[in-house]
């Protein structure tokens, strides 16, 4: 039912409701706020909800963060703490259990470098727990991480690398971080999605690869993603929507022109725009010009949140001393 490209469950819900003018059976939605952060919890409960949303059954939590959070250190820390609090019930590990963090994406392409940049800022402890256990504080959980690159760089499916590493080190939990695609410009670099259904690397840009999920690996997988790009055809379609709405508001309601404008079907228009644009610009994805500094800030927010959630026995100040 949904033809517009988006990785966000909250947008899939919005698109369904816009088209059908009704709520989605089999999907439960809860919205609340933590200070300046809006949190939307979307639960896909059954097969009908899964088909309608085009998302596997599970929980998808979306944090809409304030724009200032990518510039202000105090706000960034507050967002990190809220994200850590949201992650906490999903992690559900004893302190002796191992967590493996996977930074998905291509470190050579800034909008796709979120995962590798998060991994750079994590508190890595698994080797220390094994090599110098007497010098490591009690309560520190063993954490390891990997940025496996992408198929075009390695010639190996990312899912195959993750599966092989997981079989060797036997983690109790995998956390994947990846860049996503949104269908709304205002959500680019302003939204964090957490899901417990795993992830398919590359799906946001129409290049879906081998799935990384509990169903495939037999290990719980938490996916954390931030939309960093939007489809150019979606921008064009939204712009035309605004123009058409403005023209409708000015047209005579009993005129044939008004009826013609009202009859324009949005999904058909989206397909037409893609067909027209494709020979000229191909499958173009768009990202903001300040993406370098934004990705640095967002990666710090997410890495700090993961550090807090995986090391509950430590204060943030103590965690920072390990990763300085």
Q: Is the pLDDT of residue 302 over 60?
A: yes
What phi and psi, each to the nearest 5 degrees, are found at residue 60?
-130, 115
Task: Give the pLDDT band of residue 278 (cuts 50, 70, 90).
Answer: low
Contact status, residue 281 vs residue 232, Cβ threshold 8 Å: yes
pLDDT at 89: 92
Q: Is the pLDDT of residue 236 over 60?
A: yes
* Cα–Cα distance list, 321 to 64, 80, 121 (Å): 29, 17, 12
Q: In angstroms, rounded to a whole number, what is the distance separating the alpha carbons of residues 5 and 182?
A: 7
Residue whose pair of structure tokens reads 């085009």 in the numeric block: 54
Prediction pTM value: 0.83
pLDDT at 178: 95
With 0-12 / 13-18 / 19 or more C-beta atoms within 10 angstroms meaning exposed / middle / buried, residue 281 is exposed
Q: In angstroms, rounded to a whole number, what is the distance separating the alpha carbons of residues 104 and 225?
A: 10
DSSP state of 178: E
pLDDT tens digits along 69-79: 667 888 899 99
Question: Which residue did the predictor score with more confidence, 67 or 160?
Answer: 160
Q: Is the pLDDT of residue 322 over 80?
A: no
Q: Is the pLDDT of residue 128 over 90?
A: no
pLDDT tens digits along 208-226: 568 899 999 999 999 999 9
How much helix, strand and coil, in percent to the nearest 5, is found in the chain? 50, 20, 30
Q: What is the rounded (10 degree) CA torsion for 200, 84, 324, 316? A: -170
Q: Where are the alpha helices (DSSP H) in the chain?
A: 9-20, 47-53, 73-91, 114-120, 126-131, 151-154, 158-169, 214-217, 232-250, 256-262, 266-281, 291-310, 316-323
Task: Give the pLDDT band of residue 27 (cuts 50, 70, 90).
Answer: very high
* Average pLDDT in the chain: 84
Residue whose pair of structure tokens reads 């993750």 in the numeric block: 162
Contact status, residue 190 vs residue 143, Cβ threshold 8 Å: no
pLDDT at 24: 86
pLDDT tens digits along 238-268: 777 666 667 667 665 656 655 665 666 666 6
Which one, of 36, 117, 315, 301, lies nearest residue 194 by Cα? 301
Report the topology of domain 91-233+284-323: Rossmann fold (3.40.50)
pLDDT at 169: 94
Contact status, residue 138 vs residue 313, Cβ threshold 8 Å: yes
Q: Which of the listed ranges 152-156, 166-170, 183-187, 228-232 does the model predict with the highest average pLDDT? A: 166-170
pLDDT at 68: 66
Contact status, residue 311 vs residue 115, Cβ threshold 8 Å: no
What phi and psi, each to the nearest 5 degrees, are found at residue 286?
-115, 140
pLDDT at 291: 86
pLDDT at 95: 79
Q: Which of the listed ranges 164-173, 198-207, 241-250 does the model predict with the highest average pLDDT? A: 164-173
Q: Where in the chain are the domains?
A: 91-233+284-323
CA torsion sign, 134 to 140 to 142 to 146?
A: negative
């Amino acid at each position: 039912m949904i033809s517009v490209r988006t990785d966000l469950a909250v947008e899939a819900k919005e698109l369904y409701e816009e088209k059908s003018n009704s709520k989605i059976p089999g999907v439960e939605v809860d919205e609340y706020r933590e200070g300046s952060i809006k949190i939307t919890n979307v639960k896909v409960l059954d097969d009908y909800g899964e088909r309608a949303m085009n998302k596997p059954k599970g929980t998808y939590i979306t944090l809409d963060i304030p724009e200032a959070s990518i510039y202000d250190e105090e706000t960034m820390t507050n967002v990190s703490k809220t994200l850590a609090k949201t992650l906490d019930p999903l992690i559900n590990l004893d302190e002796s259990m191992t967590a493996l963090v996977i930074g998905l994406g291509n470190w050579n392409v800034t909008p796709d470098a979120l995962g590798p940049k998060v991994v750079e800022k994590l508190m890595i402890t698994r080797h220390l727990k094994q090599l110098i256990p007497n010098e490591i504080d009690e309560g520190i959980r063993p954490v390891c991480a990997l940025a496996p690159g992408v198929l075009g760089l390695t010639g190996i499916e990312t899912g195959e690398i993750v599966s092989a590493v997981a079989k060797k080190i036997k983690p109790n939990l995998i956390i994947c971080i990846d860049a996503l695609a949104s269908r709304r410009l205002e959500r680019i670099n302003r939204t964090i999605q957490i899901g417990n259904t795993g992830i398919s690397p590359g799906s946001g840009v129409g290049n879906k690869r081998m799935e990384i999920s509990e169903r495939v690996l037999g290990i719980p997988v938490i996916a954390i993603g931030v939309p960093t790009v939007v489809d150019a055809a979606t921008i064009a379609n939204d712009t035309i929507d605004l123009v058409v709405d403005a023209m409708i508001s000015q047209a005579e309601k009993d005129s044939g022109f008004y009826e013609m404008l009202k009859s324009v079907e949005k999904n058909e228009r989206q397909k037409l725009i893609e067909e027209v644009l494709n020979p000229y610009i191909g499958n173009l994805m768009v990202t903001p010009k300040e993406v370098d500094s934004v990705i640095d800030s967002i990666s710090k927010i997410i890495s700090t949140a993961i550090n807090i959630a995986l090391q509950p026995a430590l204060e943030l100040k103590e965690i920072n001393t390990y990763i300085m």
